[in-house]
Amino acid sequence: MSKWMAYLHRISGTALAVFLPVHFWALGLGLEMDGFLAWTEQPLVKFAEWGLVVLLAAHLGGGLRVLALEFLPWRDWQKGLAAAAAAVAFAAGLAFALALLGSGAFAQSWPQKPVRFIVPFPPGGATDISARLLGEKLTQIWGQTVVIENRGGAGGGVGAAEAARAAPDGYTLFFPSGSVVTANQHIYAKLNYDPEKDFVPVTNVVSGPQVLVVPAGSPYKSVKALVDAAKASPGRLTFGHAGIGSQTHLAAENFLYQAKADAVSVPYKGEGPALAGLVGGETTFALTNLAASIGHVNAGRLRALGITSRTEAPQLPGVPPIASTLPGFENAGWFGIVAPAGTPKEIIAKVYQDTKKALDTTEMKARFYAQGLAPVGNSPEEFATAMKAETALWANVVKERNIHVQ
Amino acid sequence: MSAKAQSLLWIAQRASAAVLAVCVLVHLATIIYAVQGGLSAAEILGRTRGNAAWLAFYSIFVLGVAVHAPIGLRSVFIEWLGWRGKSRDRVLLVFSVILLAMGMRAVLALFA
């Protein structure tokens, strides 16, 4: 026992003697300290940290044993026990300290540079509006700019593929509408990302109803008139949306399915372009997020015929629920944050907590309310459960409506 | 090496061990405080730069290391390699000076 403890003391001491010059050298290089802390999150460095803990504990335990042998009038077994207890206590203390350091270091030091929100649609849509509103507030909280990058195309697939391949360091986050991560996998035969494997849920930011809109000069002045026209001439009416598989596409398909009517789908690169097309008379109608169309409705460029919520939206008084024409009809859109798989869980937790903090402010509630959106801010676990349920739901709708892209 | 020199090394080894045990704990507590408190690099340097107490503490820490490590390695060299004589002591002296120089360089980077 004594021989082995002495041997361990020698080995750990020698290893520490090798490590110390490296440690001093790294510090002496003048490594920027916060960068250094982030660096310590690397798996190899973490492994080295734990190795250092073991070495220090072993060396100190052995040293205490030596001191006990030399200075204290204890029996051998008492000295051995005391040294072992000291080593265990020291190891536990260091392990606890490093665990605290490991869990807190990255989150505390993040973000040290601008954070990128990839929005998979062009500017002007509800996804873009939601990301920009939250981004402004998070910029204040983090002291670092949140940059919104619009990457439209393929029903959100272009932006999703880019986000999926981004470094999982917390500096690139994905801000999709729900369908991009819960419906596209059922619609597209080939998808350049895997919603379940490439991303981890952070939080659902906001949700809101959609609104059935037609151009201001349209002959259709009610949901019933539009449905009757679609039924009378199947395939004559057209509807614009943000892309195949987008929330606005699925909302319209769901509406037509419930109405037992048909119309021609016209995909755009985003909700903003789809609304611009509708205002310009390129399409007959659209089922868009309230956040994106409310400005056009209030400006008189579009006419709102119905809302997808069960009750009237206070932002659009006098616009009836579509359910008053199609009993039971209800649809909602949501916009949230997911992170590339592999993003440190401490960063996921910080993004969630700070987003919740932002959403809980009166200012943000009011700003989202004005857009027809309600803050959600659920936890990553709750968000994951909700996404799973919605994925199953859309699988069924997509199958029933036979919505597929080869 | 004379018996007196051997005794001095023995005392230096024990004394430096006691100092280092305290220094390691203070050092870890300081790092945890800085990290958990969310201090930025600029804030940490703002507190350490020009602070004579920090300079003194870390200078003692580095000095303790520069004394303790070479004496410990000396025993290792003797027991495992059978390396004795002046060449061994010269190498260990160089190692001690390197540790002291690199350590003080890091300390002064935080202080100056």
Q: What CATH number is attached to the domain comprising A132?
A: 3.40.190.150
Name the residue among B75, B79, B106 with its Cβ closest to that of A24.
B106
Residue A28 belongs to domain with CATH number: 1.20.1300
Instruction: Kindly report, residue by residue over B35-87, the tens digit of the pLDDT.
Output: 666 565 566 777 778 888 989 999 999 999 999 999 999 989 998 888 888 89
**Pairwise CA distance, residues B41 & A198, whole Å:** 33
Give me the number of domains chain A comprises: 2
Q: Is the same domain home to A134 and A101? A: no
In this structure, are A254 and A365 located in the same domain? yes
**How does residue A385 score in pLDDT terms, banded at 50, 70 and 90?**
very high
Q: What mean pLDDT value characterizes chain B?
A: 85
- Is the separation of the CB atoms in A98 and A123 below 8 Å? no
Shared domain check, A263 and A177: yes
Per residue in A141-196, pLDDT (tens digit) is 988 899 999 998 887 889 999 999 988 889 999 999 998 999 989 988 888 899 98
Interface test with A, best of B24, B44, B68, B102 (most A CBs within 10 A): B102
**Quick check: B81 contacting A, CB < 8 Å?**
no
Q: Domain check: are A189 and A214 in the same one?
A: yes
Instruction: Tell me, yes or no, whether A30 and A148 share the same domain.
Output: no
Mark yes or no for CB contact B40/A34 under 8 Å. yes
Whether the CB-CB separation of A354 and A228 falls below 8 Å is answered with no
Last residue of a domain, one of A93, A109, A125: A109
Q: What is the mean pLDDT of residues A49-57?
A: 74
* Chain A positions in Cβ-Cβ contact with residue B69 (cut-off 8 Å): 13, 16-17, 20
What span, in angstroms and rounded, lies between the C-alpha atoms of B76 and A119?
A: 61
Instruction: Compare CB distances from B38 to A25, A33, A108 and report the shortest one's residue.
Output: A108
Interface test with chain B among A33, A55, A70, A109, by most B beta carbons within 10 Å? A33
- Phi then psi dihedrals of residue A76, to 5 deg: -60, -45
Q: From start to end of A216-285, where are the E strands?
A: 238-241, 264-267
Q: Does B19 touch chain A (CB under 8 A)?
A: no
B55 contact partners, CB below 8 Å, separation of at least 6: B107, B111
Closest C-alpha among A181, A357, A157 to residue A269: A157
Q: Which residues of A touch B79 (CB under 8 A)?
A: 10
What are the structure tokens assigned to A99, written together? Answer: 């665990």
Please report, as a single letter, which amino acid is at residue B68: H
Classified as helix, coil or strand, A395 is helix
Boundary-marking domain end, from A77, A93, A109: A109
What ipTM was predicted for this assembly? 0.85
Contact B24 A56 (CB under 8 A): yes
Boundary (domain end) residue, out of A53, A74, A109? A109
Q: What is d(CA A309, CA A330) in angstroms, rounded to the nearest whole number?
A: 5
Element (H, E) at B107: helix B86-111
The DSSP line for B27-81 is HHHHHHHHHHTT--HHHHHHHHTT-HHHHHHHHHHHHHHHHHHHHHHHHHIIIII
A94 & A118 share domain:
no
CA distances from A185 to A108, A151, A333 (A): 36, 18, 17
A372 and A357 part of one domain: yes
Closest-CA distance, A64 to chain B, in angstroms, reads: 9
Residues of A in contact with B28 (CB under 8 A): 94, 97
- Evaluate whether A1 touches A79 at the Cβ level (below 8 Å): no
Tell me, yes or no, whether A132 and A49 share the same domain.
no
What pLDDT score was predicted for residue B21? 84
User: Does the pLDDT of residue A30 top 70, yes or no?
Assistant: no
Which residues, other chains included, contact B1 with Cβ-Cβ below 8 Å and sequence gap of 6+? B9, B89
Give the domain range for residue A326. 112-406
pLDDT average, residue stretch B7-25: 89
Residue from B5, B95, B105, B97 nearest B59 by CA: B105
As given in the structure block, the two tokens for residue A344 are: 């440190």
Of the candidates A16, A141, A368, the one whose C-alpha atom is nearest the C-alpha of residue B17 is A16
Q: Which residues pair with A212 in a beta bridge?
A: A287, A306
What are the chain B neighbours of A60 within 8 Å (beta carbons)? 21
Q: CA geometry: angle at A328 spanning A326 and A334, to 5°?
A: 105
Nearest beta carbon to residue B69 from set A20, A27, A63: A20
Quick one: pLDDT band at residue A37, thresholds 50, 70, 90? Answer: low
- Residue A61 CA to residue A90 CA, distance in Å, equals 8
Tell me, yes or no, whether A97 and A122 share the same domain.
Answer: no
Give the DSSP H or E segment for A215: strand A199-215
Instruction: Please tell me if residue B45 touches chain A, with a CB cutoff of 8 Å.
Output: yes
Q: Are residues A123 and A84 in the same domain?
A: no
